[in-house]
Structure 1
Amino acid sequence: MPNVRILLAAPLVAALALAVPAMAEDRAVPQSRTEMQLSFAPLVKQVENAVVNVYAERVVERRSIFEGDPFFEEFFGQRMPNRSEKQSSLGSGVIVGTKGIVVTNNHVIEGASDIKVALADGREYESTVVLKDERVDLAVLKIKVSKADTAFTALPLGDSDAVEVGDLVLAIGNPFGVGQTVTSGIVSALARNQVRSGDFGFFIQTDASINPGNSGGGLINMNGELIGINTAIFSRGGGSNGVGFAIPANLVKTFVASAENGSASFDRPFVGATFDAVTSEVAEALGLDRARGALISKVLPGSPAEKAGMKPGQIVTAVNGIAVEHPDALGYRLTTVGIGGTARITVIAEGKEKELTLSLDRAPETTPRDERLIEGRNPFSGAVVANLSPRVAEELRMPTNGTTSGVVVTEVNRGSPAARIGLQPRDIFIELNGTAVTSTETLAALVGEDPSIWRVEIERDGQRIRQFFR
């Protein structure tokens, strides 16, 4: 396939050789009306067949308005007549594998029972979810194809670390369900965090128009490469105001590789340390020219961080030679290195810069989880509990600096006694009826008793809560 930059600029080679001075990395500012009249049409033709529409259908259960009313619950035998209805949503996706591998946003397909992918030429296919992750808001789909189908057009994944502020980009997707739409703009900023809730904070910002329905679509560079998956907009009215965000392609590469390797979940490397943002006061105290990096506030004993020589008070400023501006950027850099890799961590300690080697692996399950459902006549019936470990804490998105042992609630069945008393996932049992809860086996034995009063102490978000139940 021809290089698009050459295709667009070929008629002007002679003129540009005389009129435009050479610029580094083949980037140049337009110098004439002729250059301003260049078209993105050849680039769009090159990539349009790789951008698809994603239709997700989900079944939603509507709760009865009489639920909780004693009279109606008695009349219907505690089973209120709820009704179900189907809801459809529309998003975009990008084909990144010629055999029908599609990347989209997790929120586009979350909870869907039926997912269809429609190509630009009108063909429509059923698809299945290979891997999804709410925290990075990515999902990989596999198109169900027949033997008669040929290879699909796929977009190559570019190097998002090579992207610079000011680069021209195209955003392609299906906003508002009107059909495939192309908008143009520039890269407005890099390494943006605090864009949305969740634990992922490293986005490419662009002023190319991104609207509802564009989610999961592609952000394309001038070489026809995918450099990001469009995922969010900043707007009070829900439409594009020139501030859109995309998940960088280098994270997409790691995610797709995890899916192709058959992983059931997308694991982030376990570091075993807690990081805070560097304030201007901290930067001044340590002699930094500006507030940058990730301040190490806590290191867990025996963790990869401790083995690498990381200590509280140090500031991480780079990973593999790439600057780290904030803790979210550090998490992104380590995630793109991937499980099983090693990272060169640059830290500032006692005013001096040094390099450490950090081995990246999955969070360990130091204690077998022994997951159990609490049953019987007790206030906690309907809660699912497990022995807490770094692995379980990672799955539940619990903070690294929290408790790493004990018994944690992983799920609470709706309408159960546990739900009625307000028990929540991530609650940690500390003590029950005066006995320390050290394992799920201990908890199961304690709830088998039938005391007149239940006295429980739990930890929630670092706070201890004591409650009594009859």
Structure 2
Amino acid sequence: MLGVLLGGIAVLVGIQTAPPAAPVPVDSPAAPVPVPALPPVAPPAVCDCPEVRGGGGPSLVDAVERTRDAVVTLSGTDALGAGVLVDETGLVLTNYHVVAGQIRDPRQRVLGGVTDASAVAQPIRARFVDGRELPAELLVADRDRDIALLRLRPADSAERFAFATRGRSHELRVGETVFAVGNPLGLEHSVAQGIVAAIGRTGLLRSRQTPLLQIDAAINLGNSGGPIFNLRGQLVGITTATLERAQGIAFAIPIDHIAALLEALRAGHGTRSGQVGAEVAPYGELDDDARALGYQNGLRVSRVLPGRPADAAGLRKDDLIVEAQGQRFDSFGTGPEAQLRLANHFVATVRGLLPGEVLNLTVVRGKDRLSFNIPVAPAPPDQQVLIDADALLGLRLDESRREPIVKELRPDAPISRSRGRELLRNARVSEIAGIKVDSRDDLGPLLSELRQIGRFAAVQVGFVLSDGRALRVRDFPVSPD
């Protein structure tokens, strides 16, 4: 079968002559992280907003007044930024990079359940708008998605705090008014108004598929970690980045994505890729029905796995996917290479979604155009091994084999440009960083550790070649996913 497993195998290009083997059990899945749950989304509220009312007025002033006590300035030896309280017990959301200077071991991608000072070099202080300061404890820090969760430590543990109500970032519309609160250049609790300039921007964080909101508010050094509110005073995002040499271009992590990340960590799925249980063919002609609807590119569904989210949502074999997350595929162009780029992009989009998030698809079925909202599930452990080998090492393993046998190299991976790369075809991975590997069961935990350490690095990888010879690559490149 020629296809791409959404969120599973990155690109399965080849003829499948036998059904895949039964899933390989993994005895040591990722442990849940003791992450406090965020409060539920705020109930719908009537908004006296210009967009609704059709006029000007004090709605921004009112929203700022309602939220000012929930915003704090964060400081430490190397920390300067902002945070926002998200529950009455003192949970504070901010960016990883705001507190990174306080973390003793920055190589770790995810820190979770920190209950003492062992992981933090210096204490973090949180200062309210009235000048009061409290120490803050680091609970969770995810480097790749640039999220950190703190808890305030008041003298009276029973103290309760004003906090921001949580909105629904997926309901934001381009052009909607929002405002940011932060400490630009040290000017604490400054407010900047803007609009949502775009939704679903990717390629900006270490986790390149993390979808971001683009806003045009004035964001500067010191705004990092601060909240983005809508005019209802609801938290819809956390400021994360700006573009150098640009004005009026800033980015925020949607609150829906943050909530999904924390829930995934709670469930032990924080290092799992997203999947929906379908395959798409990277090659194929667009039919006349799709062209009649104005589309120039698409991906044909080649298989829907029974019982998986795509099946439950009603996606069918031979459906033509023409949009994902509200974006058409026409810009990828036509031809085999363009189709392969599109397939890789689509798979990366699905893999980058967190369990509990939603994949929005538009498909053409015959003469009809249909919309699907498919909840994303975590990849099973046996598939996660295949995903990580592809994403981190550029090795596409044979999914029908229990042993980690290299079927092919990912064309854009650094190892594909190395001399002697042809020797790796049909080779068995025998060791990672000096640790023996006999099966995919052994390989999975090692790849998970490698993902924690980070990308753009190198690691020693050993192989047994198809002719029985041993090969050890001392500086095997770790590639970005």
> Under TM normalisation by the shorter chain, which class is it?
0.5 to 0.7
Cα distance, 1:139 vs structure 2: 2.1
Q: 2:180 aligns with which of 151, 171, 178?
A: 171
Q: 2:194 aligns with which of 177, 185, 195?
A: 185
User: Hey, what's the Cα distance between the residues in 2 that align with 1:288 and 1:132?
Assistant: 48
Deviations 1:341-364 (A, max 9, x none): x87854335665457796743222
Cα distance, 1:126 vs structure 2: 3.1
Residue 108 in structure 1 maps to residue 98 in structure 2: yes
Cα distance, 1:206 vs structure 2: 1.6
Cα distance, 1:338 vs structure 2: 0.6
Supply the AA of the counterpart residue of 1:51: V
Change (3 A) 1:184 1:151: same
User: Hey, what's the Cα distance between the residues in 2 that align with 1:283 and 1:186?
Assistant: 39
Supply the AA of the counterpart residue of 1:92: A
User: Hey, what's the Cα distance between the residues in 2 that align with 1:332 and 1:215?
Assistant: 27
Cα distance, 1:277 vs structure 2: 11
Aligned residue in 2 for 1:381: none
Partner of 2:241: helix, strand, or coil? strand
Residue 348 in structure 1 maps to residue 357 in structure 2: no
Whether the 8 Å contact between 1:97 and 1:154 is mirrored in structure 2 is yes
Q: 1:269 aligns with which of 262, 274, 286?
A: 274
Change (3 A) 1:390 1:194: closer
**Pairing of 1:350-369 with structure 2 (within 5 A):** 352-353=368-369, 360-366=376-382
Change (3 A) 1:46 1:310: same
Cα distance, 1:175 vs structure 2: 1.7
Supply the AA of the counterpart residue of 2:73: N
Structure 1 unaligned residues grouped into runs of 5+: 10-22, 58-87, 367-388, 409-421, 424-428, 463-470
Structure number with greater CO (CA < 8 Å, separation at least 6) is: 2
Cα distance, 1:144 vs structure 2: 2.8
Aligned residue in 2 for 1:255: 261
Whether the 8 Å contact between 1:393 and 1:404 is mirrored in structure 2 is no
Aligned residue in 1 for 2:133: 124
Q: 2:222 aligns with which of 201, 213, 232?
A: 213
Computing the radius of gyration from Cα coordinates, the structure with the larger value is 1
Whether the 8 Å contact between 2:319 and 2:363 is mirrored in structure 1 is no
Cα distance, 1:430 vs structure 2: 9.9
Aligned residue in 2 for 1:390: 384
Aligned residue in 2 for 1:12: none
User: Hey, what's the Cα distance between the residues in 2 that align with 1:175 and 1:287?
Assistant: 49
User: Hey, what's the Cα distance between the residues in 2 that align with 1:26 and 1:230?
Assistant: 25
Residue 245 in structure 1 maps to residue 271 in structure 2: no
Cα distance, 1:231 vs structure 2: 1.1
Partner of 2:199: helix, strand, or coil? strand
Partner of 2:73: helix, strand, or coil? strand
Aligned residue in 2 for 1:28: 54
Whether the 8 Å contact between 1:131 and 1:265 is mirrored in structure 2 is no
Change (3 A) 1:116 1:277: farther
Change (3 A) 1:153 1:399: farther
Supply the AA of the counterpart residue of 1:227: V
User: Hey, what's the Cα distance between the residues in 1 that align with 2:389 and 2:152?
Assistant: 28
Cα distance, 1:442 vs structure 2: 4.5
Change (3 A) 1:175 1:268: farther
User: Hey, what's the Cα distance between the residues in 2 that align with 1:351 and 1:401?
Assistant: 40
Cα distance, 1:316 vs structure 2: 5.2
User: Hey, what's the Cα distance between the residues in 2 that align with 1:315 and 1:400?
Assistant: 26
Aligned residue in 1 for 2:235: 226
Deviations 1:377-415 (A, max 9, x none): xxxxxxxxxxxx52474499549993366659xxxxxxx
User: Hey, what's the Cα distance between the residues in 1 that align with 2:253 and 2:373?
Assistant: 27
Change (3 A) 1:435 1:135: closer
Cα distance, 1:301 vs structure 2: 8.6
User: Would you say how many aligned residue pairs link Structure 1 and Structure 2?
Assistant: 356
Residue 315 in structure 1 maps to residue 312 in structure 2: no
Supply the AA of the counterpart residue of 1:402: R
User: Hey, what's the Cα distance between the residues in 2 that align with 1:173 and 1:242?
Assistant: 16
Cα distance, 1:233 vs structure 2: 1.0
Cα distance, 1:242 vs structure 2: 1.0
User: Hey, what's the Cα distance between the residues in 2 that align with 1:399 and 1:297?
Assistant: 27
Partner of 1:97: helix, strand, or coil? coil
Change (3 A) 1:347 1:116: same
Deviations 1:179-238 (A, max 9, x none): 2211112222223334455322522222110111211111111111111111111232xx
TM-score calculated relative to the size of structure 2: 0.57
Between 1:101-110 and 1:346-355, the stretch displaced more is 346-355
**Pairing of 1:152-167 with structure 2 (within 5 A):** 152-167=161-176
Partner of 1:287: helix, strand, or coil? helix
Whether the 8 Å contact between 1:275 and 1:294 is mirrored in structure 2 is no
Whether the 8 Å contact between 2:74 and 2:83 is mirrored in structure 1 is yes
Cα distance, 1:461 vs structure 2: 7.9
Q: 2:80 aligns with which of 90, 106, 129?
A: 90
Supply the AA of the counterpart residue of 1:118: A
Whether the 8 Å contact between 1:431 and 1:456 is mirrored in structure 2 is no
Change (3 A) 1:328 1:124: farther
Change (3 A) 1:344 1:325: closer
Deviations 1:304-339 (A, max 9, x none): 5886766688315367xxx45466799479946618
Partner of 1:210: helix, strand, or coil? coil
Q: 1:235 aligns with which of 240, 244, 257?
A: 244
User: Hey, what's the Cα distance between the residues in 2 that align with 1:165 and 1:333?
Assistant: 25
User: Hey, what's the Cα distance between the residues in 1 that align with 2:394 and 2:306?
Assistant: 13
**Pairing of 1:192-207 with structure 2 (within 5 A):** 192-196=201-205, 198-207=207-216
Deviations 1:268-302 (A, max 9, x none): 42346688999xx9699941655699736987999
Residue 295 in structure 1 maps to residue 295 in structure 2: no
TM-score calculated relative to the size of structure 1: 0.58
Whether the 8 Å contact between 1:315 and 1:347 is mirrored in structure 2 is yes
User: Hey, what's the Cα distance between the residues in 2 that align with 1:145 and 1:44?
Assistant: 25
Supply the AA of the counterpart residue of 1:348: V
Whether the 8 Å contact between 2:289 and 2:367 is mirrored in structure 1 is no
Supply the AA of the counterpart residue of 2:187: V
Change (3 A) 1:196 1:253: closer
Supply the AA of the counterpart residue of 1:152: F
Change (3 A) 1:127 1:284: farther
Q: 1:45 aligns with which of 65, 75, 78?
A: 65
Partner of 1:402: helix, strand, or coil? strand
User: Hey, what's the Cα distance between the residues in 1 that align with 2:46 and 2:395?
Assistant: 49
